[in-house]
Amino acid sequence: MRSDRQEEILSLIERYPIGTQDELRKYLKDEGYDVTQATLSRDIRKLGLTKAVNEAGKSVYRLPSGNAVTYEAGLWDRYIRVLREGTISMDEAGNLLVIKTVSGMAMAVAAALDAMNLPEIIGSIAGDDTVMCAVKTPKACKVVHDKIKNVL
């Protein structure tokens, strides 16, 4: 029974942008699996699921891949909190995304962006209150800007 449920979890996260355990529990219930939060947490841990930002800028469950950052419990939420609390404004300049931050928060915001693994970002440089992200193209810069805004 356990392996069937875990296979269903994998199938669900491939089909739907599931971002929370509560969402996942509802999908599982629709498929006939009524599980507790504790059981679901164990399944997520056993399957090695991670969180990543999808194309729409939503944090969703994913299978770990070679390029994915794996998160300890609560670490993903901390990155999002750093972005929300540290970011003041963003502006595009060609293929550069310039992010103004609270004084002293630029390095933390840059680390949070790196953890998001956005494929459009080539790299970032942080000062005291500014992060400059080099993005592949000006069009991709707009995409990154929108993804970050969705997280904020």
Q: What is the pLDDT of residues 21-52, one digit of tens each?
A: 999 999 999 999 999 988 998 888 888 888 88
pLDDT tens string 113-145: 887 778 889 999 999 999 999 999 999 999 899
Cα 79 to Cα 16, 22, 74: the distances in Å are 23, 21, 9
91/113: higher pLDDT? 91
97/43: higher pLDDT? 97
The confidence band for 101, taking pLDDT boundaries of 50, 70 and 90, is very high
| Residues 149/92, Cβ–Cβ less than 8 Å | no
Cβ atoms within 10 A of the Cβ of 126, count? 20
Domain ranges in the chain are 2-47, 87-151
Distance CA 38, CA 52 (A): 22
- Select from 89, 107, 109, 108 the least CA-distant residue to 98: 89
Looking at residue 75, its pLDDT comes to: 60
Task: Give CATH for domain 87-151.
Answer: 3.30.1360.40
The confidence band for 76, taking pLDDT boundaries of 50, 70 and 90, is low
The confidence band for 58, taking pLDDT boundaries of 50, 70 and 90, is confident
